[in-house]
Amino acid sequence: MKLLWIMSLRLAFILSNVPCVAQNVPDVGELISRLNRPDSTDRAAKQIAEVATKDAKAREIVVKTLPEMIDKPETDEVWLNAVRLAGQLKVQEAVPSLMTAFARGPLGGRIGSTMTDEFRLNKDVVAKALSQIGDPAIPAVTSLLASGELKTRRRAVLILQNMGTPAARKVLQERLPQETNPRIKELIANGLHDPGPN
């Protein structure tokens, strides 16, 4: 009986020191595989967000994978989840891919969304991801302010306002006297008076 008790103590000790297996944490490679499948992408995205915030090695794998997923031409649910993850995890390595995707226009909005949703970028998944990445995305977003397209400049202003950081506010302050469109100028001025979402 004593021998059985000692063996069970040893087994308990061994299992308590086995990383991840005993805790039933999914393998990040398997999660990325599921992220790439339309039938499992939503659940995998939530699990990846959890795992990548707690495990540096898992985050490293995700960071290397997301830009390639964002670069794909299809704007399906898999693509939307990759873009959302890039923002949630603040993946600055995804900024070039997000800037390429920016040209596709506002995507990922909900039907019946409000003006508040628009200002918070809830209707524009790529712009929201850039705003969540924050200061590392500022140089790329600032380049959009020179665009001849009003829609592009407006989206850039909203991204910077949603960042709400001192560096983003400085870019907006510098842009204000240069902006030629009265509506965008007003948007910038109003944003500078309002401290923003952060």
Identify the CATH number of the domain in which residue 179 sits: 1.25.10
pLDDT value at residue 18: 42
Q: Range of 100's domain?
A: 27-104
Least confident of 13-27, 113-127, 163-177: 13-27
Domain count, the chain: 2
pLDDT value at residue 113: 58
Co-location of 143 and 92 in the same domain = no
Paired tokens of 59 = 């985050």
Domain termination site, one of 104, 126, 151: 104
Least confident of 96-100, 164-168, 191-195: 191-195
CA neighbor of 135 nearest in space, from 97, 172, 86, 168: 168
Which one-letter DSSP state was computed for residue 26?
P
**Average pLDDT, integer, range 103-119:** 68
Number of Cβ atoms within 10 Å of the Cβ of 106 = 17
Domain assignment present for 179:
yes
Domain assignment present for 146:
yes
**pLDDT, averaged across the chain:** 85
Find the angle CA(107)-CA(63)-CA(25) to the nearest 5 degrees. 105
Domain assignment present for 53:
yes
Q: How far apart are CA 188 and CA 42, in angstroms?
A: 35
96 close to 67: Cβ distance less than 8 angstroms? yes
Q: How confident is the model at residue 104 (pLDDT cuts 50, 70, 90)?
A: confident
Give me the torsion for CA of 173, 175, 176, 177, rounded to 10°: 110
Domain assignment present for 71:
yes
pLDDT value at residue 198: 46
Predicted TM-score of the model (pTM): 0.81
Least confident of 42-56, 114-128, 155-169: 114-128
Q: How confident is the model at residue 121 (pLDDT cuts 50, 70, 90)?
A: confident
Range 103-112 contact pairs with CB under 8 angstroms and sequence separation of 24 or more: 104/75, 105/151, 106/155, 107/75, 107/80, 108/80, 108/83, 108/84
pLDDT value at residue 117: 61
Domain termination site, one of 104, 128, 148: 104
Co-location of 97 and 147 in the same domain = no
pLDDT value at residue 23: 46
Domain termination site, one of 62, 81, 104: 104
What are residue 108's DSSP bridge partners?
Answer: 124
Which one-letter DSSP state was computed for residue 135?
G
Domain assignment present for 181:
yes
